[in-house]
Amino acid sequence: MENEREKNLTVITTHMNADFDGIASMLAAQKIYPGALVAFPGSYEKNLRNFFIDSMAYLFNMTDISNIHLSDIRCLVLVDTRRGDRIGNLSPLLSLPEIDIHIYDHHPHGPDDIKANVEFYKETGATTTILAQLIQERQIELTPDEATIMCLGIYEDTGSFTFSSTTEQDLMSAAFLLSKGANLNIISDLITKEINPQQVNVLNDMLQSATRYNINGVNVTVTSVSSEGYIPDFAIIVHKMMKVESLNVLFAIARMGNKIYVVARSRISEVDTGAILKPLGGGGHGFAAAATIRDQTLAQVEHQLLEILYRTIKPFQIAAEIMSSPAITIGPDISCNDAGIRMTRYNVNALLVTERQDEKDILLGFISRQVVEKALFHDLKHVPVKEYMSTELASVSPEADINEIQEKIIGNKQRILPVIDQGLIKGVITRTNLLNILVDQAQLNNGKKTRDVQTQITARTRNVRRLMTERLSKKLIHILKTIGETATEIGFSAYVVGGFVRDLFLYRKNEDIDIVIEGDGILFAKKYAEITGARVNAYQKFGTAVIIFPDGFKIDVASARIEYYKSPAALPTVEMSSIKLDLFRRDFTINTLAIQLSPNTFGTLIDFFSAQRDIKEKVIRILHNLSLVEDPTRGFRAIRFEQRFGFSIGKLTSSLIKNAVKMDFFKKLSGRRVFMELRQIFEEENPTPAIIRLSDYNLLQFIHPSVTINKKTIDLLNAVHKVITWYDLLFLEEYYNKWAIYLLVLIRHCDSETSQEICRNLELAPRYLKFFGSERFEAEKCMYGLERKLPTKKSTIFKQLNIFQTELILYMMVVTKQKQVEKAISNYFTNLQQVQIFIKGKDLIQMGIPQGPVFGKILDAVRDERMNGKIKTKKDELEFAKKYSALLIKQSDSIIEKSEKQLS
């Protein structure tokens, strides 16, 4: 009889990597199947192992799976799973017809589910709930310890009843278990377990590497972390991140040794984590799932996961997410001709017609490109659009779903659909917008990828608060936070953008803060200045302002704007816009990063144009193919950024710069704009490589056709860098124009007439006509004289050099061919310029010398003697001054005597 009993075993098991719900369900099943053995199919979370070893393992009729002969098993009870690939070494039993299989599970049905003889399935938040109900119905007694473990399973799998999957049945079962003595203190200790310092580091790494994707209108966060060893309680760390970042969807990928673990959590029905992780060999609920993957790298798993996400998440979009904003509108009295020009300018096929009434834009109708073109064909270009606009048009609210949008655009045969909220026009949805979404949906439903994973992303976002805290001063962090708070108070959104954000990622110091306001930037600036005690300089035409703090610190503020160019190389015309359109107008992708400053999203990086990728790849890329046609100065800036950051200019961008040169777009630039770009290049730390690149692209011709460089010129440019570096290290605190020295070298071969022409071409200030002309030639003449015969007296050298501006003296130091002249100029800066004498005019008065021009002569002579080393003390100076003044008086008397004799 004993042998017969042993060969009819009932074994209870759950899924690998068992959680509390799986453990609690096994205990509950043991109450329903008295005498059954409990066996884990594989590993389980470390906190579970410690819990059972240290406390309540005695409650289980536990055995190791290696101690069981599979041939002795007659009944297999599966809890919290119904998938064969998740029960490890017990999976061979599934193919044996003599085995009875009983399943208790709350996971949704799937095509690969195990076929069971007995099955209990309910849509509950935890499997333990199903078993607790059976125990309650059958009036099976529970001890307080057993009730505690079962209640723990329900608490964990429902997120303490906060997960959207929680049902009334979960609460009822928990109440039943509490009535049986479940200890909430034990449950609380295990559920709210604090993470240790090592896990805090893991969490920080996860926060730092987190990337946010907008997939078909759903925000999904993916993060990854790598460790040589096992990360205990990884699921708890993931849950902490969900709470810290207030995320709806999170996929955490961890390399632990030679395995990849994926833990997923979702709070929304649009993302079924169990279905998404199934192709990776994982499983779980719609709101919580996990997978273990072998023989793949972290990057491979992340790429596969992204592909699954884009394939699986169906579009969930509302009008506010689809619309283009702000709406481009025209007034009713605008002519058909001007309407056509505006459509071309903005590349749109329809425009809303609005009229300003009581400080609101009232929607009157819309006009399409087709109607405008017909009006122009019939020579009606001067007729106002109100005569031909469509006045019957539907609109939607920002919350309208895709079905309502489709019905109104297609049903009304409407080219453009206004999005209106409380009487205000928030944006528009076009037929093209709708068509793209419908095509994407159709291809997704057919299992086809519409676009590459990266190109589907409207904006990549990630939290960079930690990076900001590490890289920025407390003062800057405080300023950025108060900017976000102030903007939010008046209903605007604030962003810090451009070079400040770029340099944050390049680990370069940059305190030039550029703020973009979605709203009225000038209104914001005035409000912020009022709060902080700063003052404001506003520029109404461009919607910009400068906030100046009492300590002189400045912040540039701009309204989000769109720019268009009436002709190639023209200055831009500016209109109000959104942050995305504002960033799109910028020169290069690396300058399109923005960080949100609003309190609830502070520190969220926005990347619409793959700027992070280009920074990582060290590439300068323009945003669109007409970028250099609209603003050729971007060619100069591309070279400046390339050399400053050690990047390379992208192939397409390089080709477009060459095309702009070939098409003479640079010639349409004003000389002032060319000069400003050249000046910024010449003021870089070492502009020589950039000047060589200007020559490579044939851009030096826009200084003057005769300006070219050769090896000799390059050697001189390198010498300029060397001399300027030396001069700056003297810390003389004397301002000079670094750019002027480089330009002096580039035009060194030019005659006076050409030099004057260059100054006029670059629209330099009138004083530079003389500086680059006659003064340059005088400086060169002085240098040649010093080379022929260097004066022995230091005072003579001082007098010859001191009449020139600093830039010209440094230029002489660069171009001289003689070391002794270079040393003499060096001595001029380091010693001669610093010579000071002790005596003053009052000392001469005390000596009885009458005031007048003679004072200057005496003091200059004293300085000369000190320079030449002949006098050293104040006493020496007084004695020399006395003798010299007597000599001057004697000379003056002699001159007077001669004059009198001549007159007589």
- Condensed to tens digits (0 to 9), the pLDDT of residues 326-362 reads 888 999 999 999 999 988 877 788 999 999 887 788 8
* Dmax (CA) of the chain: 162
Lowest-pLDDT range of 443-452, 772-781, 806-815: 443-452
**Structure-block tokens of residue 762:** 């670059």
Look at residue 456 and tell me whether its pLDDT is greater than 50: no
Q: Which is nearest to 230 in space by CA: 201, 258, 193?
A: 258
pLDDT band, very low/low/confident/very high, at 195 (cuts 50, 70, 90): low
Cβ–Cβ < 8 Å for 153, 20: yes
274 close to 251: Cβ distance less than 8 angstroms: no
What integer pLDDT is reported at residue 298 of this predicted model?
78
Residue 502: other Cβ atoms inside 10 A: 22
Contact between residue 270 and residue 309 where contact means Cβ atoms under 8 Å apart: no
Contact 556, 513 (CB under 8 A): yes
Measured between alpha carbons, how far is 857 from 884 in angstroms, rounded to an integer? 9
Q: For residues 189 and 448, which has the higher predicted lDDT (pLDDT)?
A: 189
Q: Is the pLDDT assigned to residue 572 strictly greater than 80?
A: no
Torsion, Cα 728 731 733 735, to 10 degrees, reads -10
Cis peptide before 384 (omega within 30 of 0): no
The number of beta carbons lying within 10 Å of the beta carbon of residue 590 is: 28
Q: And the tokens for 669?
A: 């630039």
Provide the CA 325 distance to its chain's centre, in angstroms.
21
Q: Are 46 and 232 in contact (CB under 8 A)?
A: yes
Structure-token pair, residue 150? 């079962």
* Segment 238-287, tens digit of pLDDT: 988 888 888 889 999 998 887 899 999 988 877 889 889 989 988 777 88
Q: Is the pLDDT of residue 460 over 80?
A: no
pLDDT of residue 94: 87
Q: Are strands 619-620 and 648-649 parallel, antiparallel or unpaired?
A: parallel
885's tokens: 């003044």
**229: enclosing H helix or E strand:** none
β-bridge partners, 231 = none
The H or E element containing residue 688 is helix 688-696
- How many CB atoms sit inside 10 A of residue 248's CB? 16
Q: How many Å apart are CA 381 and CA 368, to the nearest integer?
A: 14
Alpha-carbon span 669 to 415, nearest angstrom: 39
Residue 555's DSSP bridge partners are: 513, 547
Q: How confident is the model at residue 53 (pLDDT cuts 50, 70, 90)?
A: very low
For residue 15, give the nearest of 109, 84, 73 by alpha carbon. 84
H/E segment holding residue 420:
strand 416-421
Torsion angle (degrees, nearest 10) of CA 433, 435, 439, 440:
10
pLDDT of residue 2: 43
What are the pLDDT digits (tens) for 835-893? 999 999 888 888 888 888 888 888 999 999 999 999 999 999 899 988 888 887 777 65
β-pairing verdict for 259-266 and 249-256: antiparallel
DSSP, collapsed to helix, strand or coil, labels residue 211 as strand
Q: What is the mean pLDDT of residues 211-233?
A: 84
Residue 55, both tokens: 């406390």
| Total-model pTM | 0.57
Q: Which of 796, 801, 619, 813 is nearest to 726 (CA)?
A: 813
Let me know: does 529 contact 547? Beta carbons within 8 Å.
Answer: yes
Q: d(Cα 125, Cα 904) in Å, to the nearest integer?
A: 128
Token look-up 């949100």 returns: 596
* Sign of the dihedral defined by the CA atoms of residues 697, 702, 705, 707, in that order: negative
pLDDT at position 811 is 97
Position 212, amino acid = R
- pLDDT tens digit sequence for 740-783: 999 999 999 999 999 999 999 999 999 999 999 999 999 999 99
Instruction: Report the alpha-carbon distance of residue 700 to residue 344 in Å, rounded.
Output: 34
Mean pLDDT, to the nearest integer, of 587-598?
Answer: 93
Residue 447 confidence (pLDDT) above 50: no
315 pLDDT band, cuts 50/70/90, is low
Dist. CA 296–CA 300, nearest whole Å: 6
Please tell me what DSSP assigns to residue 822.
H
What's residue 55's pLDDT? 61
Tokens of 658: 């060459």
- Residue 624 gets which letter from DSSP? S
- Chain length of the chain: 904
pLDDT at 575 over 60: no
Of the candidates 888, 876, 900, the residue with the CA atom closest to the CA atom of residue 852: 888
In angstroms, the CA 869 to CA 874 distance is 13
The position carrying tokens 């708070």 is: 485
Averaged confidence pLDDT in the chain: 86
Q: Does pLDDT of 695 surpass 70?
A: yes
User: Closest Cα partner for 840 from 829, 851, 832?
Assistant: 851
Model pLDDT for residues 490-541, shown as the tens digit of each residue: 988 999 999 999 999 999 998 899 999 988 899 999 999 999 999 999 988 7
Q: Which of 158, 155, 118, 159 is nearest to 29 (CA)?
A: 118
The label of the residue with tokens 């592909």 reads 307
Residue 363 dihedral angles phi and psi, to the nearest 5°: -75, 125
Q: Convert the pLDDT of each residue in 606-619 to its tens digit.
A: 988 888 889 988 99
Supply the pLDDT for residue 33. 93
Token pair in block for residue 641: 């950024």
